[in-house]
């Protein structure tokens, strides 16, 4: 109904969801890269060793599930990163899709 009444709003919402999906996909690939760099070929073994539900962790890597911020921070902590690292230019540059969500000038100036 909203799409009929407000077509521009609907397309903006769709773009926003596409940006979120792109960001989640980038985070998933980033997690895969971090896990493999730690020497874990298998996501299940990594998750079990770090007390994460293997099915849920697999969803994070495969982008089959949205992720709570607390879960994102928990996984970052496991990899030796902290919550401040999430929005640093270095991390954002490694997460494909982050640029579509974050305003690059704010990131470059250190505001984010």
Residue 5, in any domain of the structure: no
The total number of structural domains that make up the chain: 1
Distance CA 57, CA 19 (A): 21
Is there a domain that residue 1 lies in? no
Least confident of 10-24, 45-59, 80-94: 10-24
Least confident of 18-22, 55-59, 99-103, 105-109: 105-109
Tell me how far CA of residue 18 lies from CA of 11, 32, 34, 89, 93, in angstroms.
10, 21, 24, 22, 19
Q: Could you tell me the CATH number of the domain that includes residue 95?
A: 1.10.260.40
- Does any domain span residue 6? no
- pTM (2 d.p.): 0.69
pLDDT of residue 24: 83
Q: What is the pLDDT of residues 58-103, one digit of tens each?
A: 999 998 778 888 888 899 999 998 878 777 777 777 776 565 555 5
Domain limits for position 91: 14-108
């Amino acid at each position: 109904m909203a799409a009929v009444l407000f077509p521009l709003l609907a397309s903006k919402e769709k773009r926003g969801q596409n940006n979120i999906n792109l960001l989640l996909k980038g985070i998933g690939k980033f997690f895969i890269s971090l896990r493999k760099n730690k020497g874990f070929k298998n996501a299940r073994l990594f998750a079990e060793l770090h007390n994460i539900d293997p099915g849920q962790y697999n969803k994070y890597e495969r982008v089959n599930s949205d992720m709570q911020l607390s879960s994102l921070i928990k996984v970052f902590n496991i990899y030796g990163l902290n919550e401040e690292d999430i929005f640093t230019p270095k991390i954002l540059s490694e997460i494909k899709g982050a640029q579509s969500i974050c305003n690059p000038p704010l990131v470059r100036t250190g505001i984010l």
